[in-house]
């Protein structure tokens, strides 16, 4: 992995966050993302994965600490300029308005006043939705809808993608294809992503993972180093056996539960 | 008056409290034959008739719209015509409540009946029925002479109109088309079933709004232009109707009445089926002098 | 394709407009009319039809924008109490003799009321940035009741000039249309529509949700405020032109979403044009079916719109756009 830039494109330092009048959700979080990095974010429900992504995308503003995008304070960006640098895709895509796929994907170009670096059709090709371009969103399956939004994000052309559970409700086939696509983007264009995940087995595919518990980082690094049985027990509160297959890949064994 | 008119405008003349539903017979619930001493009137027209019969001093309660004659304003108020307060009425301990099918809620009589308060319900709506109505009310109040006198006076006035209009003014008034504006914007006019319409008939004037089936219809402006009334009456309320009719009359500048300056502002006398209708008819007639 | 559909809509509007000029309680031939008919055309039907088109455009456009910002297909200036709020402040302005803006006083006071209610409903219907559709609607209904009651109170206290206007605002009625209303009405409606159409990208993004709007480079708060202003301008224009008319803002965007699609760039102008045609048509019906009596347009739009509203309520996914 070669980086054109030797400084982090996103940096969170000692970030704390709480909704007004509520308990602290994120506590003293420090994190940096380099160009082209591909990070998996793991943790139990309510551990703060979504909040971290919202802080990292500037939707939420930290209580204390520093969040920099390309070495510049996140909140100092003009909205449009920030949108060219990072793109955020929430977990819930509950939209019942019949935008066509083409219209939706085209929204990825909203931050730009110039011609696109990529066309809507190319973005649709990339997610395998070329034949659904004119279909209304409301006619798509959950997975197709997810891919349409990914295409919109691709068209937005940001160098940093913050994806909240993008693999949720995707068939295994599309989970694989999406991961492959993001891998290619990383290789070809140096696009970095942080992706909140549920499936620990998939996390083993990542170069770098981050394990969260109650708003703090339990561990960050390669999956083998972070996703140990001990750490997973700490994060999820359940004993999980981490096994290594003959081919060297790692997987977890839930044991016999039923 | 204002609210009576208001309800007309608001409900676009749908306020038709049908006489069906009121108990049969004009009177109900009287126990003794002694003339009533504490009367409550639930309608401005009734108040005016009662005063004309000389029993004004026996009235203990009126509606907030009873402003004629002047003394009526000093009486205890019991609420509006369509929403009189039962409590206020009862607390006045009346031995007779006079009401009308033309504006009072019919349930009110039933409530009073349950409370054993005698009621008199006036059911007439037509100008021609006014004298007879007064006679009946007079009989009830044990005032047959006064009632007869007032009834005759009105009868003479009505009869007199007919003669006058036939003999001396026939060629001028008859076959003239007229419109009576109750409210200019939106345009509400007097339709059939009103004392105004009756008065028109009496004078031999044709009310262009007669074919509508509503007492106070919301009327089409262009229809007024087509019908081309020769005279337009504008009823005054508490409002300066001259000011608020300007816009309407500007739009009707093609109409003969407006073109020839035959727009006549009259009082609200004809809005109430009471003794002042005589003056109301005179006012209409004066507009032709 | 879309442009063709928009063109067809415009042609429909033109036809309805011509129809409302020459049809009516009596048919006037466009090729030969006498003086009286000319007078009726110029003084009565023309200003009335133009006012109907302007009001309908304002209401249709406002509905399309509101449904988007609030992510609620049941949003409409009437249902959410924005119209009655505008009527209320305009009535208050009249009663207190507030004439700071001269000719624009009535629409300006109406605008202030509309904007306040829009913000209030928006605030009521959201909790920590998330729109709660049922709360939104109930807030609108609640406010509507309140304003109606205050209007009734004002009505019973008011001087007669105020009374006349207030009644008009409570029950939409186009019979008062006259040429002098048209210049400021046109300015306000076009201004409101112009703002809305110029922010179509932000509106599309807001329809996806605040987080999408943020990600696509919009400040959700600022864009929503701008669009609220545009809705308020249009609602104020329509209220001061001919009072409170309901359901056009509800119906038009639905029909247009079906015919034209959901993209706000087309949906807003299409809903506006369709609203103009619709109100012009219902007004034509209202003044033609029972001559010489007139049925106020608001009654006809409600007779058509209210059942559709109920029909929409029955659909399960209706509370979320």
CB contact under 8 A, B186 and C176: yes
Q: Are residues B98 and B125 in the same domain?
A: yes
- Which chain C residues are Cβ-neighbours of B247 within 8 angstroms? 176, 178
Give the list of residues 6+ apart from residue A125 with CB closer than 8 angstroms, or none.
none
Instruction: Please give the pLDDT value at position C46.
Output: 93
Residue among C36, C156, C291 minimizing CB distance to B225: C36
Confidence category of residue A87, pLDDT binned at 50, 70, 90 = very high
Region A201-229: what's the mean pLDDT? 89
Whether residue C311 lies within 8 A of chain B, CB to CB, comes out as no
Domain ranges (residues) in chain C: 46-312
How many beta carbons lie within 10 A of that of residue C102, not counting itself?
Answer: 7
Contact yes or no for A38/A222 (Cβ under 8 A): no
- Count structural domains, chain A: 1
CB contact under 8 A, A97 and C216: no
Whether residue A88 lies within 8 A of chain C, CB to CB, comes out as yes
- Which chain B residues are Cβ-neighbours of C174 within 8 angstroms? none
What percentage of chain C has pLDDT greater than the value 70?
90
Task: Choose the final residue of a domain: B107, B129, B154.
Answer: B154
With a cut of 50, say whether residue B229 has pLDDT above it.
Answer: yes
Whether residue C42 lies within 8 A of chain B, CB to CB, comes out as no
Instruction: Please give the pLDDT value at position C315.
Output: 67
In this structure, is residue B159 part of a structural domain?
no
pLDDT digits (tens, 9 = 90+) for C275-309: 999 999 999 999 898 877 888 888 889 898 888 88
Token pair of C54 as six digits: 């302007």
What percentage of chain A has pLDDT greater than the value 70?
95
Residue among A19, A84, A107 minimizing CB distance to C205: A107
- Which chain A residues are Cβ-neighbours of C321 within 8 angstroms? 95-97
pLDDT digits (tens, 9 = 90+) for C25-39: 888 888 888 888 888
The CATH number that applies at residue B257 is 3.40.50.1980
Q: How far is CA C172 from CA C104, C168, C286, in A?
A: 20, 6, 12
With a cut of 50, say whether residue A99 has pLDDT above it.
Answer: yes
Q: Are residues B20 and B85 in the same domain?
A: yes
Contact yes or no for C25/C287 (Cβ under 8 A): yes
B129 exposure class (CB count in 10 Å sphere: 0-12, 13-18, 19+): middle
Q: Tell me how far apart the alpha carbons of residues B215 and B192 are, in angstroms, rounded to a whole number.
A: 5
Q: Tell me how far apart the alpha carbons of residues C96 and C74 are, in angstroms, rounded to a whole number.
A: 34
In this structure, is residue B204 part of a structural domain?
yes
The DSSP element (H or E) to which A66 belongs, if any, is: strand A64-69
Contact yes or no for C78/C245 (Cβ under 8 A): yes
Query: In which domain, by residue range, is A152 found?
Result: 10-253
Torsion-angle region of C188 (φ positive above 0: left; ψ -120 to 50: alpha; else: beta): alpha
Q: Are residues B92 and B228 in the same domain?
A: no
Confidence category of residue C132, pLDDT binned at 50, 70, 90 = confident
Token pair of C154 as six digits: 């004002």
Whether residue A1 lies within 8 A of chain C, CB to CB, comes out as no
In this structure, is residue A4 part of a structural domain?
no
In this structure, is residue B160 part of a structural domain?
no
Phi, psi of C266 (to 5 degrees): -95, -35
Residue among C35, C176, C292 minimizing CB distance to B185: C176
* Residue of chain C minimizing CA distance to B208: C292
Q: Are residues B7 and B149 in the same domain?
A: yes
Q: B209, B218, B229, B238: best mutation site toward chain C, by most C Cβ within 10 Å? A: B218
- Count structural domains, chain B: 2
- Choice between A4 and B268, residue whose per-residue pLDDT is larger: B268
CA distance C133 to chain A (A): 13
In this structure, is residue A22 part of a structural domain?
yes
Provide the greatest CA pair distance for chain C: 65
Nearest alpha carbon to residue B221 among C30, C178, C54: C178
How far from each other are the two terminal CA atoms of chain A, in whole angstroms?
Answer: 42
Instruction: Please give the pLDDT value at position B13.
Output: 33
Q: A110, A158, A194: best mutation site toward chain C, by most C Cβ within 10 Å? A: A110
DSSP calls for C220-232: HHHHHHHHHHHHH
Torsion of CA A141, A142, A145, A147, to 10 degrees: -110
Tell me how many helices (H) and strands (E) chain A has.
Answer: 9, 12
Q: Are residues B180 and B141 in the same domain?
A: no
In this structure, is residue A97 part of a structural domain?
yes
Q: Identify the chains in contact with C, defined as 3+ C-beta pairs within 8 A.
A: A, B
CATH of domain C46-312: 1.10.3470.10
Q: Please give the model's pTM, rounded to 2 decimal places.
A: 0.82
How many beta carbons lie within 10 A of that of residue A19, not counting itself?
Answer: 12
DSSP calls for chain B: -HHHHHHHHHTTT-----SBTBPSSSEE-----SPPSSEEE-SHHHHHHHHHTT-GGGEEEE-TT---SGGGGGSEE-B-SSSB-HHHHHHT--SEEEEETTTS-HHHHHHHHHTT--EEEE---SGGGHHHHHHHHHHHTT-HHHHHHHHHHHHHHHHHHHHHHHHTSHHHHTT-EEEEEEETTTTEE--TTSHHHHHHHHHTPEETTTTSSSSS-BB-HHHHHHH--SEEEEE--SS-HHHHTHHHHHHTTTSHHHHTT-EEEE-SGGGSSSTTHHHHHHHHHHTT-
Query: In which domain, by residue range, is B197 found?
Result: 165-286
DSSP calls for C208-260: H-HHHHHHTT--HHHHHHHHHHHHHHHHHHHHHHH----SHHHHHHHHHHHHT
DSSP calls for A182-222: HHHHHHHH--EEEEE-S-HHHHTTSSEEEEEETTEEEEEE-
CB contact under 8 A, B217 and C293: yes
Q: Identify the chains in contact with A, defined as 3+ C-beta pairs within 8 A.
A: C
Residue among C216, C263, C320 minimizing CB distance to A111: C216
Token pair of B172 as six digits: 């001028």
In this structure, is residue A175 part of a structural domain?
yes
pLDDT digits (tens, 9 = 90+) for A32-86: 898 888 899 999 888 889 999 999 999 999 999 999 998 889 999 999 999 999 9
Q: Tell me how far apart the alpha carbons of residues B109 and B98 are, in angstroms, rounded to a whole number.
A: 10
Instruction: Please give the pLDDT value at position C290.
Output: 83
CB contact under 8 A, A99 and C211: no
- Which chain C residues are Cβ-neighbours of B228 within 8 angstroms? 36
Q: What is residue C27's DSSP assignment?
A: -
Q: Provide residues of C within 8 Å CB-CB of chain A.
A: 73, 128, 201, 204-205, 207-212, 214-219, 257, 261-263, 317, 320-321
CB contact under 8 A, A58 and C214: yes
* Residue of chain A minimizing CA distance to C264: A99
Handedness of CA B108, B114, B116, B119 (dihedral sign): positive
C-alpha count within 13 angstroms, C-beta hemisphere, residue A103:
24
- Which chain C residues are Cβ-neighbours of A96 within 8 angstroms? 73, 317, 320-321
Residues in chain A: 258
Chains C and A touch (3+ CB pairs under 8 A): yes
């Amino acid at each position: 992995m070669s980086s054109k830039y030797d400084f982090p494109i996103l940096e969170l330092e000692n970030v704390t966050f709480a909704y007004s009048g509520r308990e602290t959700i994120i506590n003293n979080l420090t994190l940096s993302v380099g160009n082209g990095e591909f990070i998996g974010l793991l943790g139990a429900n309510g551990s703060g994965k979504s909040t971290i992504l919202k802080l990292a995308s500037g939707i939420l503003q930290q209580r204390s600490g520093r969040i920099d995008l390309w070495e510049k304070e996140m909140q100092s960006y003009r909205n449009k300029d920030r949108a060219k640098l990072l793109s955020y895709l929430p977990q819930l895509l509950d939209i019942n308005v019949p935008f066509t796929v083409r219209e939706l994907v085209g929204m990825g170009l909203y931050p730009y006043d110039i011609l696109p670096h990529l066309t809507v059709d190319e973005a649709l090709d990339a997610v395998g939705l070329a034949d659904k371009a004119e279909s209304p969103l409301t006619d798509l399956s959950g997975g197709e809808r997810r891919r349409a939004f990914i295409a919109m994000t691709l068209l937005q052309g940001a160098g940093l993608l913050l994806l909240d559970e993008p693999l949720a409700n995707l068939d295994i086939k599309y989970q694989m294809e999406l991961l492959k696509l993001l891998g290619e983007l990383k290789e070809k264009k140096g696009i970095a992503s942080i992706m909140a995940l549920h499936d620990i087995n998939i996390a083993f595919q990542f170069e770098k993972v981050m394990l969260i518990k109650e708003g703090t980082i339990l561990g960050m690094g390669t999956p083998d180093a972070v996703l140990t049985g001990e750490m997973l027990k700490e994060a999820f509160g359940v004993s999980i056996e981490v096994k290594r297959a003959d081919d060297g890949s790692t997987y977890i064994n839930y044991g016999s539960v039923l | 008056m204002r609210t009576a008119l208001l309800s007309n405008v608001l409900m676009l003349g749908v306020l038709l409290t049908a006489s069906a539903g009121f108990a049969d017979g004009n009177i109900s619930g009287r126990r003794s034959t002694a003339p009533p001493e504490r009367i409550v009137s639930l309608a401005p027209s009734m108040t005016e008739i009662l005063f004309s019969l000389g029993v004004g001093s026996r009235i203990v309660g009126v509606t907030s719209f009873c402003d004629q004659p002047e003394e009526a304003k000093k009486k205890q108020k019991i609420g509006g015509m369509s929403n009189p307060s039962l409590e206020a009425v009862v607390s006045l301990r009346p031995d007779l409540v006079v009401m009308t099918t033309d504006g009072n809620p019919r349930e009110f009589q039933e409530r009073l009946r349950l409370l054993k308060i005698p009621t008199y319900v006036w059911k007439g709506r037509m100008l021609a029925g006014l004298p007879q109505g007064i006679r009946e009310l007079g009989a009830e109040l044990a005032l047959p002479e006064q009632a007869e006198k007032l009834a005759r006076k009105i009868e003479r006035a009505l009869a007199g109109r007919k003669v006058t209009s036939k003999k001396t003014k026939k060629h001028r008034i008859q076959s003239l088309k007229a419109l009576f504006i109750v409210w200019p914007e939106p345009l509400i006019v007097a339709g059939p079933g009103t004392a105004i319409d009756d008065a028109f008939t009496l004078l031999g004037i044709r009310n262009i709004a007669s074919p509508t089936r509503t007492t106070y219809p919301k009327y089409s402006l262009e229809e007024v232009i087509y019908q081309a009334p020769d005279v337009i009456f504008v009823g005054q309320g508490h409002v300066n109707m001259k000011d608020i009719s300007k816009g309407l009359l500007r739009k009707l500048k093609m109409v003969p009445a407006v073109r020839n300056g035959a727009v006549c502002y009259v009082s609200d006398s004809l809005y109430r089926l009471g003794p002042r209708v005589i003056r109301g008819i005179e006012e209409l007639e004066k507009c032709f002098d | 394709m879309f442009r063709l559909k928009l063109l067809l809509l415009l042609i429909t509007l033109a036809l309805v407009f011509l129809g409302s000029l020459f049809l009516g309680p009596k048919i006037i031939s466009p090729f030969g009319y006498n003086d009286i008919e000319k007078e009726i055309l110029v003084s009565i039907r023309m200003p009335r039809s133009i006012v109907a088109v302007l009001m309908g455009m304002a209401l249709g456009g406002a509905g399309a924008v509101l449904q988007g910002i609030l992510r609620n297909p049941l949003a409409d200036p009437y249902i959410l109490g924005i119209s009655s709020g505008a009527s209320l402040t305009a009535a208050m302005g009249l009663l207190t003799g507030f004439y700071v803006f001269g000719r624009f006083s009535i629409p300006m006071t109406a605008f202030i009321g509309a904007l306040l209610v829009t913000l209030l409903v928006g605030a009521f219907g959201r909790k920590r940035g998330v729109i709660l559709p049922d709360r939104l609607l109930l807030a609108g209904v609640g406010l509507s009741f309140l304003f109606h009651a205050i209007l009734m109170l004002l009505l019973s206290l008011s001087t007669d000039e105020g009374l006349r206007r207030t009644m008009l605002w409570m029950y939409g009625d186009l019979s008062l249309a006259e040429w002098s209303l048209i210049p400021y009405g046109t300015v306000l409606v076009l201004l409101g529509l112009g703002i809305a159409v110029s922010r179509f990208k932000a509106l599309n993004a807001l329809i996806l949700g605040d987080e999408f709007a943020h990600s696509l480079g919009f400040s959700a708060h600022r864009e929503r405020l701008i669009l609220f202003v545009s809705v308020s301008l249009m609602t104020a224009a329509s209220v001061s032109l001919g009072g409170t008319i309901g359901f056009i803002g509800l119906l038009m965007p639905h029909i247009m979403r079906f015919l034209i699609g959901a993209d706000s760039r087309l949906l807003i102008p299409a809903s506006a044009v369709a609203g103009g045609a619709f109100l012009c048509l219902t007004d034509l019906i209202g003044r033609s079916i029972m001559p010489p009596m007139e049925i106020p347009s608001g009654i006809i739009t409600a007779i058509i719109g209210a059942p559709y509203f109920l029909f929409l309520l029955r659909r399960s996914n209706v509370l979320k756009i």
